[in-house]
Structure 1
Amino acid sequence: MEIKSQIIAIRKNADYTQQKLADELLVSRQTISNWENGRSYPDLESLIIISEKFNLTLDELIKGDIKMVNKLDSFIKFGRKAKLIIVCVAMIFISIFTYSMI
């Protein structure tokens, strides 16, 4: 099941309006509407809050939505690459600084 269908089902089963869910997640009602209409996806923090609030695992929440899984996977890979780049740049600056001190 796609994430948009999951959010609709979760919200309706809890008897929440879009506004009530938005208030709980500290987002706008329009954001919930965009998620439910497939125009955007929830960020990881919102997914975690939804899973905790409604006693679901992240797997149960997103596993059926291939686009969402791929988006999160690419986000995680990007984060790893960014960390590696930052470490490399820091090492270069440290090397240059150390060499200039000599």
Structure 2
Amino acid sequence: MNYLSTNIKYLRRLKGLSQEQFADDLHVSRSRISSYEGGRSKPSIQFLIHLSNYSQICMETLVKKKLNSL
């Protein structure tokens, strides 16, 4: 199962950031973060690498594990 959209939202909320602030940190638009969180689009590999580095969580975990249950 793919947990990516819920994990992106979880990581943003864990840091206490708005979508705008999170988007600025990750160098994308707020609407792109909204689209990822809503599952309407899938992030690029480059974004996943950046998110993995930013959150210090491996990409496999970001995609395959539900972070809020770890």
- Under a length normalisation based on structure 2, what TM-score does the superposition of the two structures give? 0.84
Identity %: 33
Q: How does 1:1-102 map to 2 (within 5 A)?
A: 2-64=3-65
Could you say what the CA RMSD is over the residues aligned between the two structures, in angstroms? 1.6
* Largest Rg, 1 or 2: 1
Q: Where in structure 1 do 4 or more consecutive aligned residues deviate above 2 Å?
A: none
Aligned length: 65
For CA contacts below 8 A with separation 6 or more, give which structure has more relative contact order: 2
Task: Report how far residue 63 of structure 1 moved.
Answer: 2.0
1:50 and 1:15 mapped to 2: Cα distance? 16
Q: TM-score, normalised by structure 1?
A: 0.59
Q: Distance in 2 between matches of 1:43 and 1:58?
A: 12
Unmatched tracts of structure 1, length 5 or more: 65-102
